[in-house]
Amino acid sequence: MFWKRKSQELSLEGATPGQEECNVNWEARKAHMKKKRMKLTPYGNLCADVQGRHIAIKKLRNADETDEIHIYQLLLEKKEVLVENGILPIIDVLEYDGQYFAVMPRWGDDPFFSIPTSIGNVLHYIRCLLKAINFLHSNRIVHRDLKENNILVNHFGTHGRISHNLMRPKLLSEGRLMYGLFDFDLALMLPSTECCLPSRQSFFVMSIGVPFDTSHGELDYDPYKFEMGCLGIVLCQMFQHCIPFAHFLAPFLDRLITDRLELRLTAKEALAFFEEMHAKLTPEQLAVKAPIYTLHGYPPWQPDKYDRWKGLPDEFIAEWGHFKAPKPSLGTKLLRWFCHRLWGERIVINIRRFVRFLTPYVPASLDYLFRVSPNRLKI
């Protein structure tokens, strides 16, 4: 057994000690963090197995709180294909005294630190995320916490000094660097690959940005398309400044964040579109050095605040212009402003409920009228 549980604590420690990466006075650090009311490690505990391999162990939340245990058990059944699908591998799920623990290999954080990289490496990062979301959605899982901090890389080093490590750029240039999505404490396992959830459920999504799917008093929403919108926002904020060097990112990103849900790409469609467009790039285009975003904070992603098509060739816009996300109309903005107030949201929600209650046939058409479209004014 390569782990043991302390009698009075939920933390785990290795049966064999791992190697220290630097000289740190851990007792002094713990005392300092306790004084500042800080947690030493919110994500899990690092240790080593009997073979000296670095592993991470995370205590899972109870099954009556989240679907985390069931999701990790499902991932464990498919552990042979996790890495190739952009998911952090699972070694085992252990049960002890009514508690469950996920055992994973130790991977590194800060997956896309500011090192000189190429457009090809940027696209490799995006492909890994697309594969991860496609894999999760095909297995009826929505992550609900898409952000840079929940993406790891199969290379680790001393935290805070990884930018000086020469191994990661070498692995990156050799195509051996893999990215993996993890942290499923907020994830949901849904009954089917097509379903709707109450709109209030979208308020628990913790991604760095969310689309406007539930900003107009909607009664329900599509969790899969909502997550694709969240993914589009993440990619916009990280890589939309690379569009001048990879033009297809403009239509690709706009089809992820568009308000027209019938046009928003599913995970499968997004991956297929990305692979098709990526295959058209030449080795010279992939080798171009990617620009580094230097401004403070995240850039805007909304189509009325950031034009991803600015400066692109006219022939490209003529071919792909129909993919451009439309700007919200005045009516859309007014409805969002109205529903941003609690009293306004309650009024719109009650109107929608009344319309849906009238008859099982009328709501399908009238509820469509309440769907916000940037192309026309809605009540």
Q: How confident is the model at residue 155 (pLDDT cuts 50, 70, 90)?
A: confident
Q: Measured between alpha carbons, how far is 225 from 276 in angstroms, rounded to an integer?
A: 21
Q: How confident is the model at residue 166 (pLDDT cuts 50, 70, 90)?
A: confident
The percent of residues in the chain predicted with pLDDT above 70, rounded, is 77
Q: Measured between alpha carbons, how far is 226 from 144 in angstroms, rounded to an integer?
A: 9
pLDDT in tens, 218-250: 999 999 999 999 999 999 999 999 999 999 999
pLDDT (0 to 100) of residue 134: 97
Whose tokens are 């022939």? That residue is: 315
pLDDT (0 to 100) of residue 115: 58
Q: How confident is the model at residue 306 (pLDDT cuts 50, 70, 90)?
A: very high
Angle between helices 223-239 and 249-257 in degrees, nearest 10:
140
Q: Measured between alpha carbons, how far is 184 from 88 in angstroms, rounded to an integer?
A: 11
Look at 95-99, 180-184, 266-270, 302-306 and tell me which has the smallest mean pLDDT: 95-99
Kindly list the domain boundaries of the chain, sorted by start residue. Answer: 3-81+88-105, 119-323, 330-370
Q: CB of 259 within 8 A of CB of 373?
A: yes
Q: CB of 222 within 8 A of CB of 213?
A: yes
pLDDT (0 to 100) of residue 112: 67
H/E element, 355: helix 342-358
pLDDT (0 to 100) of residue 41: 46
What is the average pLDDT value for the chain, to the nearest integer? 82
Range 269-277 average pLDDT: 97
pLDDT (0 to 100) of residue 113: 61
How many angstroms separate the Cα of 268 from the Cα of each of 57, 130, 271?
31, 8, 5
Is the whole-model pTM more than 0.75?
Answer: yes
pLDDT (0 to 100) of residue 11: 39
Q: Cα dihedral sign for 365, 369, 372, 376?
A: positive
pLDDT (0 to 100) of residue 239: 92
Look at 80-84, 144-148, 372-376 and tell me which has the smallest mean pLDDT: 372-376
Range 102-106 average pLDDT: 91
pLDDT (0 to 100) of residue 37: 47
pLDDT (0 to 100) of residue 330: 94
Q: Measured between alpha carbons, how far is 37 from 35 in angstroms, rounded to an integer?
A: 5
Domain 3-81+88-105 in CATH 3.90.550? The answer is no
H/E element, 95: strand 92-96
Does the pLDDT of residue 372 top 50, yes or no?
no
Range 264-276 average pLDDT: 97
Does the pLDDT of residue 16 top 50, yes or no?
no
H/E element, 142: strand 141-142
pLDDT (0 to 100) of residue 297: 67
H/E element, 105: strand 99-105
Instruction: Give CA 176 to chain center in angstroms.
Output: 22
Does the pLDDT of residue 66 top 50, yes or no?
yes
Burial (CB count <10 Å: 0-12, 13-18, 19+), residue 197: middle
Closest listed residue to residue 83, CA positions, set 134, 128, 116, 146: 128
Does the pLDDT of residue 87 top 70, yes or no?
yes
Closest listed residue to residue 15, CA positions, set 30, 29, 1, 25: 1
Q: How confident is the model at residue 265 (pLDDT cuts 50, 70, 90)?
A: very high
> Of 298 and 180, which is predicted with more confidence?
180
Three-class SS of residue 135?
helix
Range 318-342 average pLDDT: 94
Q: CB of 174 within 8 A of CB of 219?
A: no
CB atoms within 10 A of CB 303: 21
Q: CB of 227 within 8 A of CB of 144?
A: yes
Query: 210-230 burial string, b = 16+ CB within 10 Å, else e?
Result: bbbbbbbbbbbbbbbbbbbbb
CATH of region 119-323, choose from 1.10.3470, 1.10.150, 1.10.510, 1.20.1050: 1.10.510
Range 130-144 average pLDDT: 96
Q: What length is written for the chain?
A: 379
pLDDT (0 to 100) of residue 286: 93
pLDDT (0 to 100) of residue 24: 45
Range among 18-22, 160-164, 305-309 with highest mean pLDDT value: 305-309
Range 325-339 average pLDDT: 94
How many angstroms separate the Cα of 190 from the Cα of each of 129, 133, 379?
20, 14, 32
Does the pLDDT of residue 83 top 60, yes or no?
yes
CA torsion 127-131-133-136 (nearest 10°) is -170
Range 80-91 average pLDDT: 93
Q: Measured between alpha carbons, how far is 83 from 91 in angstroms, rounded to an integer?
A: 12
